[in-house]
Amino acid sequence: MATKSINVEMLAKMFLAGAHNIEAKKEIINELNVFPVPDGDTGTNMSLTIMAAAKEVAALNKPTMKDLAKAISSGSLRGARGNSGVILSQLLRGFTKSIREESEIDVAGLAAACSRARDTAYKAVMKPKEGTILTVASGIAQKAVQMSQETDDLEVFLPAVIEHANEVLLKTPDMLPVLKEAGVVDSGGQGLLEVIRGAYDAFLGKEIDYSDITPSTQASAPRAVSAEEADIKFGYCTEFIILTEKEFTTKNEQDFKDYLSSIGDSIVCVADEDVVKVHVHTNDPGLAIQKALGFGQLSRMKIDNMREEHQEKLIRDAQKLAKEQEDKGLKEENKSTEPRKPMGFIAVSIGEGINSIFKELGADYIIEGGQTMNPSTEDMLNAIDQVNADAIFILPNNKNIVLAANQAKALVEDKEIIVIPTKTVPQGITAIINFMADADVKTNEEAMLEEIGNVKTGQVTYAVRDTHIDDKEIHEGDIMGIGDHGILAVGKDVDDTALELVGQLVDEDSELISIYYGEEVSEKDAESFIARVEESYPDVDVDAHFGGQPIYYYVVAVE
């Protein structure tokens, strides 16, 4: 029998199943990343993005299609991390805009939603690149429209669209040479395919474990709880062990469980030779104990008053909440009494030393993150709220964070947000150094954009897997020197590879080499490396700092 439409209940299940599937497959997707670096990856970013929306969906109680669409769109937009996560959030935004007024969705409605999802995502990316998640989304939309003209049966439509999406994904290496060289398909496209595969599993009625999706406490208004609900039915948590004096048969075990069920709940009764472990919630522990004594002696008896514990917990929670609200109130009060600045700065940074540098240079708020964990759009919005300024410059300091910063910018109405597309920490430092307090916003933006174009950056880390990229054979554990546009050096020794990297960055016009050493590099080793750089380039100034960044032994900038 044909299935002609999907109602809101089924769509919610399909969305949650899609989120669960990409969460389960995120490490497989991470392995498809071209660069074998040990940092935040596509699968992780897409999973965190969609799980933010899934938590809001899980908290809905009998939603309408409009409620569901809002939870998916809002949750994913705010939870978006990394370029792949932002693109996924835009796909979901376009899809939900198309279906939010419907009561049920048929094949034609799904085809229209897939087309709008594709169009919304392409518009969000300044320079769309084929061979990516966008290509797979486009393939899905094209096939959906084609199939909508051939069938109205979802049982025919859905598998055909998924099969075509997989065919498009397998062609992505032919569209991006870097994928072909590394021998992988596009990781973002694989992530999108896993989402729709998971959704299809729910459509088919497969049993899915949703335990990894915790409902958001912010997705819906608090529900009033009656006194009866708040009361604990059985007040005493009772535990003990029976040291049996005679055989404790299967029938004895079942009869004892039945008795415990008559006086309480949360029953555990496990027999192991001459020992029986018992747990029960009851209003009369004496009855359980008296019955147990008929089987033998009792040991390790423990009785807790759960109502008393519950009251104590409520008091502790209330005290904690009051303290949090008091602290928040003080912060808000301090913020409101401070005069509003004309301009402020938010910088994405990680590492004790680099954080301190940004603060000393005038950053008002540091978002902890970067390579190891891309901050979300929500993180950006929270930071913007904390900076008391009319105009705020955001320094993403990572190419994978620029889209999330721009997405936050689009959601802010009461402040002017300027995203300076800094792709590395050194670019961010250069940008804030060139800020002129007496100039206007536009003049500062133009100056910063010009100056960051003069910065060449290199980063030294280790490979987490074997691969072949940029005409270099790389093995797990190798040291890599990564430049702005690819891998510039590969070796076995950190300092040797870092020095080779510097050599690739320095040219006859170079005036300054800035070195930031990471948390895994000792001060002594850093000094030794810096001396080698100074000896190799005596005509170039060398400026060294403790960065404290994880994963990257050295971050190097040449200007």
Token pair 């005038």 in the structure block, residue: 362
174 neighbors 127 (Cβ within 8 angstroms): no
What 3-state DSSP class applies to 380?
helix
Q: What tokens were used for 416?
A: 């002017």
192 neighbors 165 (Cβ within 8 angstroms): yes
Tallying the residues shown for the chain, one arrives at 559
Task: Give pTM, 2 decimals.
Answer: 0.71
Task: Supply the mean pLDDT for the chain.
Answer: 87
Q: Distance between CA 143 and CA 165 in Å, rounded?
A: 8
Q: Distance between CA 167 and CA 437 in Å, rounded?
A: 54
144 CB burial (10 A radius; 0-12, 13-18, 19+): buried
By C-alpha distance, which of 135, 166, 163, 161 is closest to 148? Answer: 161
User: Which parts of the chain have pLDDT scores under 70?
Assistant: 1, 35-36, 38-40, 216-232, 272-273, 309-314, 316-318, 320-321, 323-337, 370-372
By C-alpha distance, which of 14, 8, 5 is closest to 162? Answer: 14
What 3-state DSSP class applies to 510?
coil
Q: Distance between CA 7 and CA 105 in Å, rounded?
A: 6
What 3-state DSSP class applies to 159?
helix
284 neighbors 263 (Cβ within 8 angstroms): yes
Q: Which amino acid is at 319?
A: Q
Q: Angle at CA 538, nearest 5°, toward 535 and 544?
A: 75
By C-alpha distance, which of 507, 476, 477 is closest to 494? Answer: 477
Torsion 394-400-403-408 (CA) sign: negative
What 3-state DSSP class applies to 311?
helix
Q: Distance between CA 92 and CA 77 in Å, rounded?
A: 9
* Beta-carbon contacts of residue 304 (< 8 Å; ≥ 6 apart): 236, 237
What 3-state DSSP class applies to 479?
strand
* Beta-carbon contacts of residue 276 (< 8 Å; ≥ 6 apart): 241, 242, 244, 248, 253, 269, 270, 295
What 3-state DSSP class applies to 442?
helix
Estimate the crossing angle of helix 65-79 against helix 42-58, to 10 degrees: 140
Q: Which amino acid is at 189?
A: G
Order across the sheet with 365-368: list the strands.
Answer: 365-368, 341-349, 389-395, 416-419
DSSP state for residue 278 in the 8-state scheme: E
Q: Distance between CA 401 and CA 40 in Å, rounded?
A: 11
Within 10 angstroms of residue 503's Cβ, the number of other Cβ atoms is: 15
200 neighbors 159 (Cβ within 8 angstroms): yes
By C-alpha distance, which of 226, 131, 238 is closest to 188? Answer: 131
234 neighbors 265 (Cβ within 8 angstroms): yes
Q: Distance between CA 173 and CA 250 in Å, rounded?
A: 62
| Alpha carbon 186 to chain centroid, angstroms | 19
Residue 321: per-residue pLDDT: 66
377 neighbors 77 (Cβ within 8 angstroms): yes
Q: CA end-to-end span of the chain, whole Å? A: 68
Within 10 angstroms of residue 500's Cβ, the number of other Cβ atoms is: 18
Q: Distance between CA 278 and CA 87 in Å, rounded?
A: 53
Residue 1: per-residue pLDDT: 64
By C-alpha distance, which of 136, 84, 129, 55 is closest to 376? Answer: 84
What 3-state DSSP class applies to 466?
coil
132 neighbors 116 (Cβ within 8 angstroms): no
Q: Which amino acid is at 352?
A: E
